[in-house]
Structure 1
Amino acid sequence: MNEIIFFENIQKVSVGYQNEAILTKEGNVFAKGYNINSKNPKEFINISSLIEDTNDRIIQDVVSRGSVIYLLTSNQNAYGIGANYDGQLGFDSETLPKTKKPILMMKNVSKIFSGSSSNHVFLLNSNQELFGCGWNEYGQLGLRKLINQISIKKLTQIQNIPKGKIIDIQSGSMYSVMLIENQNENPKRKLYSCGYYQYNGLGKDGDTYEFTEIKSSLFENDDNILDFSVGNEHTLILTEKGKMIGFGNNNSGQLGTGDIKRQSIPTQIELPKLRFNENISNYHVSCGYRKSFLYYSPFLFPILKKI
């Protein structure tokens, strides 16, 4: 029988491809995984206590992705721990292939964005400047001038970002999708993508090496995006008018279209009969490797709710 471990005051659980991390309300992060503790990968250890600067050990957010765990401290500093073979820690992988202690990646960070199976990461600072590093073989970092570099081993600023406030970025293994909000445009929220189009997780045909708008007649001027989620090769969207829209790989039925036909462009998906007679804004989507969830949870993700 597997040992069951209980944690009190859990604030967030983040699960990556090779790692798991638990953030407590006290600001501690307990994590397990081969890249965290190779001698006992099933044992949870307090990785926040391993940060050298003792004044920087209160964690505000944790992102467990691919083979790395990222920490955002209450002082707005970003740390990484785990594998660095693709430069996903923002350091030269030859001199630092991996680390078992959190290392400082960047200061003045407001958000960390990545994907559950991705080996690339984005860091957003308080000035809405976006930086990225890691695997970039298919242009998934949106660095148009560096598309020939398989790995970006140092944090590099992403240029030509669309106007507006970056709300969220989610990544598949070979592409990334960005949600931007601009109060002066209609609709206010738009999606942009970059990377490899083969499985059509981009929502459009053809590779794109910088963030380019996903356009569709399904995104009407009087509608708006409430929530979205990116899996390994597919994307789902919920709009204020109650539309569910999806595109990408569908070989396991992960789009919920009732078949296994791949959708190369945004396609409306019939919503199931909702159990709760409430506003669609209380529903959310979550995409995994070859599966998807539509779930009811009011008051979650306020940054993506209608304002």
Structure 2
Amino acid sequence: MVSKSPIILAWGSGEDGQLGIRKDEEKDWVCTVDALKTENVCSVVAGSRNSLAICKDGKLFTWGWNQRGTLGHPPETKTENIPSQVKALANVKIVQAAIGGWHCLAVDDQGRAYAWGGNEYGQCGEEPERKDDNSPTLRRDIVIPQRCAPRLSVRQVAAGGTHSVVLTREGHVWTWGQPWPPGDIKQISTPVRVQGLEKVRLIAVGAFHNLALVEEGTLWAWGNNEYGQLGTGDTQPRSQPISVQGLSGLTLVDIAAGGWHSTALTDEGEVYGWGRGEHGRLGFGDDKSSKMVPQKVQLLVGEDIVQVSCGGTHSVALTRDGRMFSFGRGDHGRLGYGRKVTTGHPMEVPINLPPPKHGTDGRWCAKLVACGGRHTLAIATWQAA
């Protein structure tokens, strides 16, 4: 027996209000986002300094840092610690969303994509304002969500540090913005199709690297690669997709990309990790070195993992029975252990919360997890014994 109303969990850094708990303080333990308890939240996203939640009815709520309009409304204050609905999207049904460095993307049930927030690299897809005197054109921040990639019918959106990526309903991948660290290449605000990718099922985007899982099972990667986050066995950046090594023979069901690391999940509930290993974010125990090719996370074997989320410097794995294991950098309490320990050994995140008012014996089970820059969010439901 599972409770009908999900609760939203938050822990880690709260200095920008990103926990949504009405205070700008950090939490070493799991706490609840009470402002959303009357909403039927089905998805959460944690960004570098802000958060969002999507409800079953398509409503979108945002909270946290808003200096660049990242919350979807003009910034009256720099930060907001209470979730508020994005009014500009109230008349559409949002089904999925993503947070980049300081911009956001969302897609509705009709396949229409929206963007808002920081736009200095064209990551919101808007052309700069033209000036008559030939002086440099400036891209303005987009503080009210607006349509982007209007010619595309979008299935999934993903956001990097300063670029945007979308997967269309035809299985193609398009991108715009600044896909490399600033200064490396000229940015574009018009969507460009990523060549060589057909029948893509899922995309995941890190700070400056990209992953695409195609229907027949191959994982492709492109972008920055200074820590081996592309899984190609080297640290050479790739402007075109290249297949990730070491995963042949495996049936992949999910992928995730953190700041500079990547994970893939198999149909047998096993996790493979690669890229930057600093702080233990790959989950290889005391080995905190970077990995150039995917390696199985042995410390999670036997746990039947159904989802992995990668943050800036930490990761969380979710089991089929609703337990969460976190690992990586621990300051600000982002691992949720009650102490600020940094570890490469996955440890369970305790959900020490009272049962619902009419709850019988049972426990809270996590259903989805989202890692941000320095905080973590999750959705949980009560499962009666």
Instruction: Select the residue among 149, 154, 166 that pairs with 1:48.
Output: 149
The residue that corresponds to 1:90 in the other structure is none
Give, in angstroms, the shift of residue 14 of structure 1. Answer: 1.7
Change beyond 3 A, Cα 1:132–1:268: same
Note the C-alpha offset of 1:27. Answer: 1.3
Change (3 A) 1:282 1:250: closer
Matched-pair contact (CA < 8 Å) for 1:139–1:208: yes
Root-mean-square deviation (CA, aligned residues, Å) is 2.6
- CA-to-aligned-CA distance 1:204-247 (integer Å, 9 cap, x gap): 1122110000112x643xx4113332111111122234533111
Kept in 2, the 8 Å contact 1:123–1:130? The answer is yes
Cα drift, residue 126 of structure 1: 2.1
Match of 1:109 in 2: 199
1:274 to partner: Cα distance: 6.1
Q: CA deviation at 1:5?
A: 4.1
Matches within 5 A, 1:85-234: 85=180, 94=185, 97-106=186-195, 107-115=197-205, 118-144=207-233, 146-147=234-235, 149=236, 151-181=237-267, 188-204=268-284, 205=287, 206-216=289-299, 219-220=301-302, 223-234=303-314
2:358 pairs with 1:268: no
1:283 matched to 2:371? The reply is no
Paired residues of 2:174 and 2:194 also in contact (CA < 8 A): yes
The worse-fitting range, judged by mean Cα deviation, of 25-34 and 207-216 is: 25-34
Count of equivalent residues = 272
Q: 2:102, 2:240 → 1: CA distance?
A: 23
Helix, strand or coil for the counterpart of 1:203?
coil
- The corresponding residue for 2:329 is 249
The one of the two structures with greater contact order (alpha-carbon pairs below 8 A, sep at least 6) is: 2
Task: For 2:146, give the aligned amino acid.
Answer: I
Could you tell me which residue of structure 2 aligns to residue 6 of structure 1?
Answer: 88
Residue type of the alignment partner of 1:289: G
Residue number in structure 2 paired with 1:185 = none
Contact 1:234–1:255 (CA under 8 A) maintained in structure 2: yes
Instruction: Give yes or no for contact 1:72–1:109 (8 Å, CA) kept in 2.
Output: no
Q: Which amino acid aligns with 1:82?
A: G
- Shift of the 41–158 alpha-carbon distance from structure 1 to 2, 3 Å rule, reads same
Q: Is the 8 A contact 1:120 1:134 kept in 2?
A: yes
Percentage identity across paired residues of the two chains: 20
Looking at structure 2, the residues matched to 86 and 73 of structure 1 have their Cα atoms a distance apart, in angstroms, of 25
In structure 2, how many angstroms separate the alpha carbons of the residues matched to 1:168 and 1:79? 20
Query: What is the TM-score normalised by the length of structure 1?
Result: 0.79
Question: What are the residue-to-residue correspondences of 1:25-104 with 2, within 5 Å?
Answer: 25-32=109-116, 33-34=118-119, 35=122, 36=124, 37=126, 38=128, 39-42=139-142, 43-49=144-150, 51=151, 57-85=152-180, 94=185, 97-104=186-193
Any gaps of 5 or more consecutive residues in structure 1? 52-56, 88-92, 182-187, 299-307
Tell me the SS of whatever aligns to 2:222.
Answer: strand
> 2:331 is paired with a residue of what secondary structure?
coil
In structure 2, the gaps of 5 or more residues are: 1-72, 76-85, 129-138
Determine if contact 1:109/1:123 at 8 Å carries over to the other structure: no
